[in-house]
Structure 1
Amino acid sequence: METITNFSTRLIHRYLPSAFILALLLTAIVFVLGIFVAGQSPVQMVDYWGTGFPDLFKFAMEVSLVLLTGYVLAMAPLVQRMLSWLAGHASTPKQALAITIITSFVCYYLNWGFGMVVGAIIAREIGRRVAVHFPLIVAAAYGGELVRGPSSSIPLIIATPGHFMEESIGIVPMSQTLYAPWNLLLTGMLLLALLVFFLIQRQPEPIERLEDAGTGPEPHRATPADAPVDRIELSRWPTLLLGLFILTYLGQQFIRNGFSVNINIVILSFMALGLLLHHDAASYTEAVKKAIGATHGIVVQFPLYAGIAGMMTGSGLVTLLSNAIISVATPQSFPLLTFLSAGLVNLFIPSGGGQWAIQGPVMMKAAYALGADPAQTIMAFTWGDGWTNQIQPFWALPLLGVAGLTARDIMGYLLVWLAISGVLIAGTFVLLSMMG
């Protein structure tokens, strides 16, 4: 395993382009496939790209705010002390990796946005205190991103009355998908495999450590010499009142809707806690300035992937691929092929809900025609959508922004983890088909 991982790491360092260049290469690949496979003209492909380009503007802003508000919260003095306490329980590299993996995996399971920020923050904090190879611990923090939990968009969509496919597939409860016994067992197996894989890694020499001190801005206390407007800026009350205002709104939402967490709830929760835990508005805004640089990859690259999705959808490439899979599928092999095809399309359309809207109706129609298990097909699609996130920098950008690394630094480890997790997930669907 060490030999394989070392080879993968060297391969990635030598040949993987930056996340931005990779997005441009994927754009070129889809453009060419649209012309020569889907039979579209270059002008049409350009038009599809331009039409799709703005589709992720809202989502890019949401993800940027998740990252920014989470980063600012982590810089609050109380959170810094809490993270120091947690990191203090790790005195060896293996303990550091285990704490990082379990913490990030659980947070990713609860909510992908929560896990995305917490995983990066805990990796940073432990990376500052323990002599562990920093790219290794950041890769370990990201490895749990593939887990599918209560915030997974696809099972949530098809379990919600009134969803866009209700007439054809009805309502599929989450007890048959996310909370099916076999799926919970698979989730536990993946956590165990993730722990084993990273704990057996030998650290390279020399160890690449995190140099950033990671401390938040020092608060400036108001003095009588300050102007009245400065004293307001340095007062505790403006941020305290706004934080309580947001928490009141969140409390009302939980009373009305139960403990239902979406990306907007995550943003508001991080924002409220950040406002309450920073000393004043000056401290909070200074933390925002430091955090905002971490969002640059999201702002630039998410629209590029929206353009790629526009070309994939407009040209019909997604439907062509889905039909090619269906043409060779049997009732037993269909969930496995669904998993693999969803993973492939995810490289070009890295958005679960968006991919399901395009590819889902075709796959579910085929599942019913073949007599394949609908719930297993849905979960196969869901796992495929998350599986190839391990080698898709789109979802790693927020974590890399907090960590201050590039995709090339961690993808060598994740490429091997992709293979291991793929065998576990694919093997599960093979066993399910054999059982019945």
Structure 2
Amino acid sequence: MEAITNFSVRVVQRYLPSAYVLALILTAVVFVLGIVVTDQSPMDMASYWGGGFSKLFKFGMQMVLVLMTGYVLAMTPIMQKVFTGLTGLAGNWRQAIIITIVTSFICYYLNWGFGMVAGAILAREMGRRVKVHFPLIVAAAYGGELVRGPSSSIPLVIATPDHFMEEAIGIVPVTETLYAPWNIFLTIALLALLIIFFMFQKQPAQIDQLKISDEDIDTEVELDRSTMSPSDWIENSRIPTLFLGLLVAVYLMGQVIDKGFSINLNTVILIFLGLGLLLHKSPQAYQVAAAKAIGAARGIIIQFPLYAGIAGMMTQSDLVGQFSEAIISVATPTSFPLLTFLSAGLVNFFIPSGGGQWAIQGPIMMQAAHALGADPAQTIMAFTWGDGWTNQIQPFWALPLLGVAGLSARDIMGYLLIWLLISGAAICGTFVVLAAMAG
């Protein structure tokens, strides 16, 4: 396994283009496929691309804010003490790997947006405080991203009354999907496999360790208060940030009282924002931290619109529909969940948005599941796992983590490619066993 992983790392570092160039290549591939497979004209494909280009503007801004506010929170003095405590638990690089994996996996399970930032920042702190190969621990932090927890949109939608497919499949409760015994077992098994895989990697002879000193993350500005102007005093006073931070806290408490506790991207942003404001000592300190954080979001800003354009071409040209129908044509009731998993994983590489992919591909797959007599709950979870599975080698979802870490996709994808194969085998094996038990 070590030799295979080392080979994968070398190949990926040599041949994988940057995440931005990969997005350009995918754009060209889908453009050509639309013309060749679905008989669309070049003008049609260009129109579909342009129509989709702006579809992720809102989501892209949400991701920028998740990254920026989480990064700024991590730079507060109290959070640095927390990270120091966590990294102090790691007596060697393998312990650092285990702590990072377990922490990020739990955070991903609770909410993928929270896990993305928390895992990246913890890996960053481990990388600068523990003698560990930095790309290795960043890859370990990202490996848990495939987990499907209570924030997974597809099972939650299907469990909600009046969802858009209720007439066709009814309401499928989360006790049959997310919290089915087999799915809980699979989740725990994947965590164990992730730990085993990364624990037994061998660090390179030349360890690439993150070089960041405490001074590099210092946000405090020393001023002579005797010469401060009124504007300087306001910018370096705790009062403005304390007020806004408390305002955020009051709003969130009101939402919990009125609607109960639930986490979505907007909630994550507000939590990070409020805590960052309360824990930084002044507006000036917050702005200094934000200035250091915002550069990490450049990949999101320039690449998310490209993937939105790719999704526009995939859907409007009916490439997704034709691919799904080709899968259905060879499926049987026992093989259908497995094929659903594999097809969702492949389409996810071109449409890296679970909700968007489900809206397009889901009705086709669920109609086929009904016609074949396949288990709807297993089909839903097969689709959900497939949607998360290929995120391991899809730079779209790794961009926030890579931004925090300051790495490129090729630095971590060699490890994640092998983890993709291991996790894929475990998930496929689960659906094969379920099919055998049903038969």
CA distance, structure 2, for counterparts of residue 97 and residue 12 of structure 1: 22
Alignment correspondent of 1:162: 162
CA distance, structure 1, for counterparts of residue 33 and residue 349 of structure 2: 15
Alignment correspondent of 1:15: 15
CA distance, structure 1, for counterparts of residue 400 and residue 390 of structure 2: 17
- The amino acid across from 2:198 in the alignment is F
SS in 1 for 2:55: helix
- The amino acid across from 1:80 in the alignment is Q
Task: Give unpaired runs (5+ residues) of structure 1.
Answer: none
- TM-superposition CA deviations, 1:175-201 (whole Å, max 9, x none): 110010000000000000000000000
Alignment correspondent of 1:302: 304
Alignment correspondent of 1:329: 331
- TM-superposition CA deviations, 1:144-203 (whole Å, max 9, x none): 000000111111111112221122112111111001000000000000000000000000
- TM-superposition CA deviations, 1:329-358 (whole Å, max 9, x none): 000000000000000000000000000000
2:56 counterpart of 1:56 = yes
Alignment correspondent of 1:374: 376
Could you tell me how far 1:289 is from its partner in structure 2? 0.5
Q: Answer yes or no: is the 8 Å Cα contact 1:235–1:281 preserved in 2.
A: yes
Alignment correspondent of 1:290: 292
CA distance, structure 2, for counterparts of residue 253 and residue 168 of structure 1: 33
Alignment correspondent of 1:346: 348
Alignment correspondent of 2:137: 137
Q: Answer yes or no: is the 8 Å Cα contact 1:67–1:295 preserved in 2.
A: yes
Q: TM-score, normalised by structure 2?
A: 0.98
- The amino acid across from 1:317 in the alignment is L
- The amino acid across from 1:241 in the alignment is F
Q: Answer yes or no: is the 8 Å Cα contact 1:312–1:318 preserved in 2.
A: yes
CA distance, structure 1, for counterparts of residue 108 and residue 224 of structure 2: 40
SS in 1 for 2:381: helix
SS in 2 for 1:224: helix
- The amino acid across from 1:305 in the alignment is Y
CA distance, structure 2, for counterparts of residue 219 and residue 435 of structure 1: 65
- The amino acid across from 2:372 in the alignment is L
Alignment correspondent of 1:218: 220
CA distance, structure 1, for counterparts of residue 282 and residue 415 of structure 2: 41
2:87 counterpart of 1:78 = no
CA distance, structure 1, for counterparts of residue 3 and residue 233 of structure 2: 60
- TM-superposition CA deviations, 1:63-118 (whole Å, max 9, x none): 11000000000000000011011101112010000000000000000000000000
CA distance, structure 2, for counterparts of residue 377 and residue 219 of structure 1: 56
Choose 393-402 or 154-163, whichever is displaced more.
154-163
- The amino acid across from 2:225 in the alignment is T
Aligned pairs, number = 436
Could you tell me how far 1:365 is from its partner in structure 2? 0.3
Q: Answer yes or no: is the 8 Å Cα contact 1:222–1:231 preserved in 2.
A: no
Alignment correspondent of 1:96: 96
Q: Answer yes or no: is the 8 Å Cα contact 1:222–1:235 preserved in 2.
A: no
Q: Answer yes or no: is the 8 Å Cα contact 1:124–1:210 preserved in 2.
A: yes
Q: Answer yes or no: is the 8 Å Cα contact 1:338–1:380 preserved in 2.
A: yes
Structure 1 residues 222 and 349 mapped into 2: Cα distance closer, same or farther (>3 Å)? farther
SS in 1 for 2:227: coil
CA distance, structure 2, for counterparts of residue 181 and residue 331 of structure 1: 21
Could you tell me how far 1:227 is from its partner in structure 2? 0.6
- TM-superposition CA deviations, 1:300-327 (whole Å, max 9, x none): 0000000000000000000000000000
Residue in structure 2 matching 1:247, options 246, 249, 252: 249
SS in 1 for 2:217: coil
Residue in structure 2 matching 1:231, options 230, 233, 238: 233
Alignment correspondent of 2:116: 116
- TM-superposition CA deviations, 1:283-309 (whole Å, max 9, x none): 001111110000000000000000000
Q: Answer yes or no: is the 8 Å Cα contact 1:367–1:374 preserved in 2.
A: yes
Q: What is the aligned-residue identity percentage?
A: 69
Task: Give unpaired runs (5+ residues) of structure 2.
Answer: none
CA distance, structure 2, for counterparts of residue 291 and residue 62 of structure 1: 15
- The amino acid across from 2:364 in the alignment is V
Alignment correspondent of 2:427: 425
- TM-superposition CA deviations, 1:45-68 (whole Å, max 9, x none): 000000000000000000110000
2:107 counterpart of 1:107 = yes
CA distance, structure 1, for counterparts of residue 18 and residue 97 of structure 2: 26
Alignment correspondent of 1:318: 320
Could you tell me how far 1:207 is from its partner in structure 2? 0.4
Residue in structure 2 matching 1:408, options 407, 410, 413: 410
Matches within 5 A, 1:197-208: 197-208=197-208
CA distance, structure 2, for counterparts of residue 216 and residue 33 of structure 1: 50
Could you tell me how far 1:222 is from its partner in structure 2? 6.7
CA distance, structure 2, for counterparts of residue 12 and residue 297 of structure 1: 19
Following TM superposition, the consecutive aligned residue runs of length 4 or more in structure 1 with deviations greater than 6 angstroms are none
- The amino acid across from 2:326 in the alignment is A
- TM-superposition CA deviations, 1:408-430 (whole Å, max 9, x none): 00000000000000000010001
CA distance, structure 2, for counterparts of residue 219 and residue 354 of structure 1: 45
- The amino acid across from 1:263 in the alignment is L
Could you tell me how far 1:224 is from its partner in structure 2? 3.2
Could you tell me how far 1:363 is from its partner in structure 2? 0.3
- The amino acid across from 1:245 in the alignment is L
Could you tell me how far 1:221 is from its partner in structure 2? 5.2
CA distance, structure 2, for counterparts of residue 362 and residue 286 of structure 1: 50
